């Protein structure tokens, strides 16, 4: 990928995520960075491949912009109300790419499509590994705490049960070993 292709792809990825000022700032930064690395004798392709995918960089930039208070970053299409989402965008994308016909309804997909809840797995090999995360609210933290406490209690009960079963054997055995140790200590003097 050349510098122009990289910057064009980065601009396209950032266009709906951050303000125009932030886009210009980031494009200028990456253009200067690539130019400075090329002056050091590295090839454009090498520098661009080292930077990674423009989509991933754009996601990182958008997250940082949102944390920094960028108003547009907080209003990306992924954060709009459900009524504002265009569920026909897949059909529009197919028409843009020249694929006029839908491959056909999938079994059980008609009810989902009517509600706009169709979900498709896209090729994840190009995007890298998928990371799953979950959030715990106060009630979730409380139940997690109770679960850990219950596990610790059961572990203590198990260890205590083992010791209570072995105590009739271990206590006399320990007493015998203690006496032998004391006698050995007296004999060695």
Other C-beta atoms within 10 Å of 19: how many? 14
CB-based contact 3:44 (threshold 8 Å): yes
Give the burial string for 176-185 (b: 16+ CB within 10 Å, else e): eeeeeeeeee
What are the backbone angles phi and psi of residue 80, rounded to the nearest 5°?
A: -80, 165
Distance CA 115, CA 108 (A): 12
Interacting residues of 73 by C-beta distance below 8 A, sequence separation 6+: 17, 18, 19, 22, 62, 63, 65, 66
Burial-class residue 65 by CB neighbours within 10 Å (0-12, 13-18, 19+). Answer: buried
Q: What is the pLDDT along the chain (189 residues), one digit of tens a residue?
A: 888 888 898 888 888 778 888 888 888 998 999 999 899 998 888 888 888 888 888 888 888 877 766 655 555 555 444 445 555 555 656 666 555 544 554 554 444 444 444 444 444 455 556 666 556 677 888 888 999 999 999 999 999 999 899 988 988 999 999 999 999 988 887
State pTM to two decimals.
0.39
The helix or strand, by DSSP H or E, that contains position 103, with its residue range, turns out to be none
Side-chain-facing half-sphere of 122: CA atoms under 13 Å? 7
CA distances in angstroms from 19 to 33, 71, 129, listed in the order given: 21, 8, 28
Per-domain residue ranges of the chain: 1-80, 137-189
Q: What is the largest CA-CA distance in the chain?
A: 101
Helices of type H across the chain: 3-14, 20-39, 44-51, 54-67, 89-97, 109-115, 138-187
Category of 52 on φ-ψ map: left (φ > 0), alpha (ψ -120 to 50) or beta: left
């Amino acid at each position: 990928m050349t510098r122009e292709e990289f910057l064009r792809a980065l601009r396209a990825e950032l266009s709906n995520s951050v303000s125009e000022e932030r886009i210009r700032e980031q494009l200028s930064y990456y253009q200067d960075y690539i130019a400075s690395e090329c002056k050091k004798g590295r090839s454009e392709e090498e520098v661009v491949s080292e930077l990674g995918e423009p989509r991933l960089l754009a996601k990182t930039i958008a997250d940082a912009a949102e944390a920094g208070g960028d108003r547009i970053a907080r209003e990306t299409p992924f954060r709009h109300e459900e009524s504002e989402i265009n569920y026909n965008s897949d059909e529009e994308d197919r028409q843009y790419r020249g694929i006029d016909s839908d491959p056909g309804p999938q079994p059980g997909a008609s009810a989902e499509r009517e509600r706009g809840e169709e979900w498709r797995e896209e090729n994840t090999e190009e995007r890298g590994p998928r990371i799953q995360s979950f959030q715990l609210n106060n009630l979730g933290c409380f139940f997690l705490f109770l679960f850990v406490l219950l596990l610790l209690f059961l572990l203590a009960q198990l260890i205590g049960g083992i010791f209570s079963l072995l105590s009739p054997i271990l206590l006399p055995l320990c007493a015998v070993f203690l006496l032998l140790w004391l006698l050995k200590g007296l004999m060695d003097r």
